[in-house]
Every structure is written in C-alpha cells, then in structure tokens.
Amino acid sequence: MKSSRQKLEQLVRNRSTTTIERQQLNQLIADNIFAASPYVTKPNFERLHAADIQLLYELYDENYFGGLLGSTLNSNLLSFRLSKRMTRAGGKTTRWTDRSKPGAASYEIAVATTLLYQSFQEPERPVTVTGIECVSRLEGLMRVMEHELVHLAELLIWSGSSCSVSRFQHIARRVFGHTHHQHELLTPSDVADREYGIRTGSRVRFDIQGQSHEGIVKRITKRATVLVIDPRGQAYSDGHKYVKFYVPLRMLEAVE
C-alpha cells in the first residue's frame, strides 16, 4: 500500500487542471473564505488573520490535493504567520528539522501583509502575481498561497524546494496555471517612487525633533534608511562618516 507521501508525489507529478476547472475551484475556495472568515468579507479586505491563511491552506488541500498535504504532514507541525517585515517576497515557506528527533520536521507558511495592503489600492491598476493578473487582494493572496503550497508539497516529498528550478515551475503551471515564479505586488520601493518620487540613491531632506537633516537614501523597506554625513558617524568606503536614520516615507522631501 502506498504511503501518503508516495500518493502526494504521484498527484504532484501527474495533476493537471484546465482553466475552467481552476476557475470553478478558486471560486469555491473564495466563497468558503467569505462565509467563514470574520475578516475577509470582501475581495479587497482590509484585515487579515493567520487563521485565514490556515483556512486557505485547508481549502486548497481539500480541493487541489485531495487532503494529501495534511495526511503527509501527519503529526509534523504546520504553522501560519502574517509578516509585516517581508517586503520583497509575497510569501515564504520554511522547513525546520531537529537533530535530536530524526525524521521529525516542522513547517511554516508566512504571508507578507505589507505588500498585500499596499497593492490593489487603484481599481484601474491590476497586479500581476505568478504571471496571473489579479484585481483584488484576495486574488493576490490566493496566488501567493498557491505558490507557497507548491513549496510545501516539494518539501514534504523531497525535503527541498526552489521556485527557480524547472520542477517547481512545471508543477505550478500544471496545477495552478502559473506562468511566472515571482510576484509583482507593489513593494515599498514602488510606493516610494510612485507617491514620493524617492528611490534608493535619492537625496532627501527631513526634520526630526525640530532639526533639519539632509542625506542619501540607502535602502527602502517600510521606512527609508537615510545616511547623513556626520563626523561622529560610522566610516564608509567613500571616505565619509555617516549617521543612519530610519525615516517614514511621508517625512521625506526629495532634494533636486
């Protein structure tokens, strides 16, 4: 008799869905989310809970994987997390092992809420996720979740996964219709450039505690990292010393 892992491997290697089948399954999943979640009550939801990610996982496992993700996990732990700090990837799936417990592993699926909330603010600007045009946060979240579930399936079967290799991409295309292995959700850098005209390398001015500063933007995440020349600061390779400030984007003014 085949084990759950062997059955999952067979399904992942052979599963192929049509466009119509995916549309029907995805609508079923969305309807169930709207019915069950106190937060995701409309396509462009404004709040999200880790329990919603778990519910999405359970619905996808039932409808796309025949429950084989859960049965292959068996007693291994799968947890779900919302991340405000992830500002480049839409999601991340991680596998941990314990050397003192051979064969045991735990898994986590994290979703980047900052990217989701910054995206889909303009109805006329759809967002492409995994090569598929999405018109709402729920659609974007579902595409991210599909991507992460391919990672999870590969980790459960082969203990490793990379979306840059052909095996992952073939699975994602056959099962979910993905044509690209990266997302195009709005990043903090996109927002900074579009709304404030600020990007990495921009010279900016800002005020903190009544004192004005001027410096160079080194990095942009939820806030901008700005380097300001100061003899008391850290020495950099350009020969200057800089003090580092972490400044909300709304406080920055681009200097021509």
Instruction: Quote the pTM value.
Output: 0.75
Which of 126 and 208 is assigned the larger pLDDT?
Answer: 208
What distance in Å separates the CA atoms of residue 86 and residue 108, rounded to the nearest whole number?
14
| Tens-place pLDDT, residues 14-71 | 999 999 999 999 999 999 999 999 999 999 999 999 999 999 999 999 999 999 999 9
103 in Cβ contact with 73 (< 8 Å): no
Measuring CA to CA, how many Å separate 103 from each of 51, 73, 92, 96, 202? 27, 11, 22, 11, 50
**Residue 183 banded pLDDT, cuts 50, 70, 90:** low
Residue 228 pairs in a beta bridge with 243
| Tens-place pLDDT, residues 227-241 | 999 988 899 888 889
Q: Is the pLDDT of residue 256 over 90?
A: no
What is the pLDDT at residue 125?
66
**What is the mean pLDDT of the segment spanning 78-101?**
84
Q: Is the pLDDT of residue 89 over 80?
A: no
Round the average pLDDT of the chain to a whole number and report it: 89
70: Cα separation from own chain's centroid: 22
**Residue 200 banded pLDDT, cuts 50, 70, 90:** confident
CATH 2.30.30 placement within the chain: 189-254
What is the pLDDT at residue 119?
79
What is the pLDDT at residue 193?
78
Q: What percent of the chain has pLDDT over 70?
A: 94
What is the pLDDT at residue 184?
61
What distance in Å separates the CA atoms of residue 133 and residue 188, rounded to the nearest whole number?
20
**What is the mean pLDDT of the segment spanning 170-184?**
88
CATH of domain 189-254: 2.30.30
Considering only CA atoms, which of 168, 151, 67, 63 is closest in space to residue 111? 151
